[in-house]
Each structure stands twice: as structure tokens, then as C-alpha cells.
Amino acid sequence: SSEVTQDPAVSVALGQTVRITCQGDSLRSYYASWYQQKPGLAPQLVIFGKNGRPSGIPDRFSGSNSYKTSSLIITGTQAEDEAVYYCNSRDSSGNPLFGGGTQLTV
Amino acid sequence: QVQLVQSGAEVKKSGASVKVSCKASGYMFIGYYLYWVRQAPGQGLEWMGHLNPRSGDTNHAQSFQDRLTQTRDTSLNMAYMQLSGLRSDDTAVYYCARGKTDCLSGICYTYFDLWGQGTLVTVSS
């Protein structure tokens, strides 16, 4: 089906590790990208490809991929990581498809 | 520096049209597809369409049918998104974003590495 699903909300204790997941058939043959969005701001790319990080994104952010699941992992979560995280894949036509977003509470 | 700068907030009546601009600077405008993504209040991100600045070719989500027009002016490094027949549920923040496509082990994937600041479009009746 042409959709990717995310848990609406996840919480993590300060300094702990959290995994945010994105599931969908398209992820069997596609690398999702991940975006962090804080209130009132534009989304910001944090992970792309197999496990790429743009310049300026802390190395506590990482990605992993397994079958139909893409994961964003934050190791040693900081207070400033509290945000909504969106994954992006593609639909059956090859067009961008966003997950519904996961609110991360630290 | 490398950035996308969008035009300012708009307030429109139902049935009207709105045109949002997105100015690229610091990189080769025609070298990357330009995407439009919107976000209704309290909601998630929705892909609207994208534009090849080099050729002018466009693609858009079926949900916008013939209401969405994407254009560009390569002499100004500007992209434009016009949405017609505005309805109250078009009230949203509209973003432009630069798309990059990489390939790894035979899998090609696109991501959005640069975003505009967003343009709030409010549709009132």
C-alpha cells in the first residue's frame, strides 16, 4: 500500500536512547529520510540514505533500515531533541510520501 | 549563503488564487528539483508537487488536480507555486524544498536538504 506509518508519540528520558520507526512496503527498496521539526520552524533534514547525516547534525542521530522498517535512533537524547520527527519515502508512483510524524518528548 | 527564501504571508478569500515565490541562492538553481510541501495547522507534511527548474517539467499530487501551477524564472533563480480555487482547508504553511537524489547499491532515493522558511496562507470565507 502507498503509506508509511509512524507512532504518533514517543517519550525518552534525558540521556537515554530512543528509536523512532517508520513502516511501509515502499521501504523494502528505498532509503527513507528523516526530518526534525520544532514549533514554528521549517523541517530540517537529520538523516538520509543508508545512514547519512548532513553537516551540523550531531552524531547522536543515526539511521538503520530493515525490510519494511526505517528507524531514526537518537543516542544520549538531549532536551533540545524534543520535536516532531517525520520520515519520508515514496508512493507507488515514485512521488514523495511523508509519515504522519512522531512527537518526541524528552 | 545557500538558502531558499519565500514570499510573505497571504490572506485570501475562498475561491481566490495565491502565488508563493521561492528564491534560491548560493547554489546552481537548475541543478536540483524544487519541491512544494504544505502543512495544515497542527497537521503533518504533505507533498504537493515538484518542478525541474532546468526543463520546467512538473509533477503534482492528484489531490490538487488542475488547481496547482508550478513555474520558474531561471534568470531570477525563482520558483513559483500558484494554487487556485482556494478553500478553507487550503489554510496551511507552504514550504519549498530542494530535492537531492542519490543512488546506493542500485537504490535511488530523494531527500530534501534545504527548506524555505515557509509561507502562511490563510483562506477566509
Using the Cβ of B118 and the Cβ atoms of chain A, whether some distance falls under 8 Å is answered with yes
Given an 8 Å threshold on Cβ–Cβ distance, is A35 in contact with B112?
yes
Q: Is B2's pLDDT higher than 70?
A: yes
**pLDDT tens for residues B13-25?**
999 999 999 999 9
**pLDDT tens for residues A56-101?**
999 999 999 998 999 999 999 999 999 999 999 999 899 999 999 9
Nearest CA in chain B to A102: B44
Residue B62 is predicted with a pLDDT of 94
Place of cell 513555474: B71
- Beta strands at A9-11 and A18-23: parallel, antiparallel or unpaired: unpaired
Nearest CA in chain B to A28: B107
Using the Cβ of A31 and the Cβ atoms of chain B, whether some distance falls under 8 Å is answered with yes
Collect all residues of chain B within an 8 Å Cβ-Cβ radius of residue A33.
109-112
Using the Cβ of B42 and the Cβ atoms of chain A, whether some distance falls under 8 Å is answered with no
Quickly state the pLDDT bin for A1 (edges 50, 70, 90): low
How many contacts (CB atoms, under 8 Å) link A and B? Answer: 64
For A41, residues 6+ apart whose C-beta sits below 8 A from its C-beta are none
For A77, residues 6+ apart whose C-beta sits below 8 A from its C-beta are A12, A13, A14, A15, A16, A17, A18, A60, A104, A106
Q: Is A2's pLDDT higher than 80?
A: no
**pLDDT tens for residues B25-80?**
999 999 999 999 999 999 999 999 999 999 999 999 999 989 999 999 999 999 99
The three cell numbers locating residue A58: 550531531
Quickly state the pLDDT bin for A11 (edges 50, 70, 90): very high
Mean local confidence (pLDDT), B82-90: 98
Chosen for mutation from A3, A33, A47, A84 (greatest number of chain B CBs closer than 10 Å) is A33
Residue B105 is predicted with a pLDDT of 85
**How far is the alpha carbon of A95 from chain B, nearest alpha carbon, in Å?**
8
Using the Cβ of B11 and the Cβ atoms of chain A, whether some distance falls under 8 Å is answered with no
Place of cell 543512488: B103
Q: Is B104's pLDDT higher than 70?
A: yes
The three cell numbers locating residue B77: 533563480
Residue B72 is predicted with a pLDDT of 98
Mean local confidence (pLDDT), B91-108: 94
The three cell numbers locating residue B85: 480555487
Collect all residues of chain A within an 8 Å Cβ-Cβ radius of residue B102.
48-49
Mean local confidence (pLDDT), B89-104: 96
Mean local confidence (pLDDT), A2-20: 96
